């Protein structure tokens, strides 16, 4: 058994003295693991960093075996952001969430392309909004998509301001007036028409978005994991909160 595919490194964990088990999100074969012999050596140092692009060949005697990878680096993404801890944290979080949420060997070509798009846009000013949209798209691809098209309570299409933590459906300002303390805030950047948002974006919008997608990821994607939420995502959320706090204190 063998195949060759384009992939994004999600993680690499040492196996024995010289080898690593590498998890990739591939274009055609989904999240797929394989053993890289010699992957822990100096020659391979830097190749198997989360977010890097590779061209991988997988070989195994039987289809259900772990198999072996031979990988060629196509883009050293992680190295591009070594001097930007926040963006590097975002890259690590996106890869960790994909690894924890996606079932192994189940193709998700659309989600692969969206992760590539997120990586390509890391240099943009709105990359944190793109990160939250990436998590929203992951939920959709897994069959747990949020319904932000209309108010669940009134059917209204305007002034959508909240999301129900139970149904994942949007709720308008008037529809959620009596329950707003129990609802998630809905950032405008998650709406197809941002102008239809109930209010202008504030410095809390990213944190609100992460809280929203995080709730449904915990409920539907990470619930079967003993470790729960990936630490890389937790670190990103902490950095975003610290950034917002510092911005608020400085009066920015």
The pLDDT score that the predictor gives to residue 150 is 95
Same structural domain, 52 and 144? no
Between 193 and 150, residue with greater pLDDT: 150
Residue with more model confidence, 241 or 56? 56
- Kindly state the average pLDDT of the residues 237-248: 80
Q: Residue 204's CB: how many other CB atoms inside 10 A?
A: 15
Mean pLDDT of the chain: 91
Model confidence pLDDT, tens digit, residues 121-136:
999 999 999 999 999 9
140 and 69 fall within a common domain: no
Res. 228 pLDDT band, cuts 50 70 90: confident
> Which of 78, 104, 121 delimits the end of a domain?
78
Residue 125 shares a structural domain with residue 215: yes
What local confidence, expressed as pLDDT, does residue 194 receive? 54
199-225 confidence digits (pLDDT tens): 444 558 999 999 999 999 999 988 776
Residue 131 sits in the same domain as residue 243:
yes
Q: What is the predicted pLDDT for the residue at 196?
A: 46
Asked if residue 39 and residue 91 are part of one domain, the reply reads no
**234 and 199 fall within a common domain:** yes
| Residue-level pLDDT at 200 | 41
- The answer to whether residues 74 and 91 belong to one domain is no
- Would you say residue 197 has pLDDT above 60? no
Judge if 242 and 171 occupy the same domain: yes
Q: What is the mean pLDDT of residues 191-205?
A: 59
137 near 209, Cβ under 8 Å?
no
Q: Of 106, 45, 46, whose CA–CA distance to 79 is shortest?
A: 46
**51 or 252, which is more confident?**
51
Q: Is the dihedral of CA 55, 83, 88, 184 positive or negative?
A: negative
Number of domains in the chain: 2
Q: What are phi and psi of 179, to 5 degrees?
A: -130, 15
CB 82 within 8 A of CB 88: yes
Q: Are residues 4 and 33 in the same domain?
A: yes
Q: Return d(Cα 12, Cα 235) in angstroms, integer.
A: 19
Q: What is the pLDDT of residue 250?
A: 57
The pLDDT score that the predictor gives to residue 227 is 75
Q: What is the rounded average pLDDT of the residues 56-82?
A: 95
Judge contact between 34 and 22, C-beta under 8 A. Answer: yes
Does one domain contain both 136 and 249? Answer: yes
Residues 239 and 114 occupy one common structural domain: yes
Is residue 243 scored above 70 in pLDDT? yes
When comparing pLDDT for 77 and 203, which is higher? 77
Among the candidates 78, 97, 131, a domain finishes at 78
Q: What mean pLDDT comes out for the span 109-116?
A: 97
- Averaged pLDDT for residues 64-85: 96
CB-based burial label for 5 (10 Å; 0-12, 13-18, 19+): middle
Whether 213 and 108 share a structural domain: yes
Q: Last residue of some domain: 58, 78, 98?
A: 78
Residue 59 structural domain:
1-78
| Ordered alpha helix ranges (H), 50-175 | 77-80, 85-101, 109-120, 127-141
Tell which wins on pLDDT, 238 or 192: 238
Q: Does the model's pTM come out above 0.85?
A: yes
Q: What is the pLDDT of residues 12-47, one digit of tens each?
A: 999 998 999 999 999 999 999 999 999 988 888 889
Q: Bigger pLDDT: 200 or 161?
A: 161
Question: Which CATH number characterizes residue 87's domain?
Answer: 1.20.1440.120
- Work out the average pLDDT over 97-111: 95
The predicted pLDDT at position 29 comes to 97
């Amino acid at each position: 058994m063998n195949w060759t595919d384009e992939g994004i490194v999600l993680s690499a964990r040492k196996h024995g003295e010289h080898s690593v088990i590498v998890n990739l999100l591939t274009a055609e074969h989904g999240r797929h693991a394989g053993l890289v012999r010699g992957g822990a050596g100096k020659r391979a140092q830097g190749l198997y960093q989360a977010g890097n692009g590779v061209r991988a060949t997988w070989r195994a005697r039987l289809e259900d075996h772990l198999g072996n990878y031979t990988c060629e680096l196509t883009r050293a993404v992680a190295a591009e952001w070594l001097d930007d801890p926040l963006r590097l944290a975002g890259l690590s979080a996106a890869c960790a969430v994909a690894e924890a949420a996606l079932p192994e060997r189940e193709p998700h070509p659309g989600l692969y392309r969206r992760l590539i798009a997120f990586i390509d846009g890391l240099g943009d000013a709105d990359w944190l909004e793109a990160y939250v949209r990436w998590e929203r798209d992951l939920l959709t691809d897994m069959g747990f998509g949020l319904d932000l098209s209309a108010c669940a309570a009134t059917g209204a299409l305007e002034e959508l301001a909240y999301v129900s933590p139970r149904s994942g459906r949007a709720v308008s300002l008037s529809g959620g007036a009596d329950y707003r303390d129990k609802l998630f805030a809905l950032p405008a950047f998650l709406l197809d028409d941002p102008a239809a948002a109930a209010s202008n974006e504030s410095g809390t919008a990213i944190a609100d978005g992460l809280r929203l997608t995080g709730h449904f990821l915990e409920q539907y994607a990470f619930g079967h994991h003993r470790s729960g939420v990936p630490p890389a995502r937790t670190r990103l959320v902490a950095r975003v909160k610290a950034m917002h706090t510092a911005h608020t204190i400085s009066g920015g």
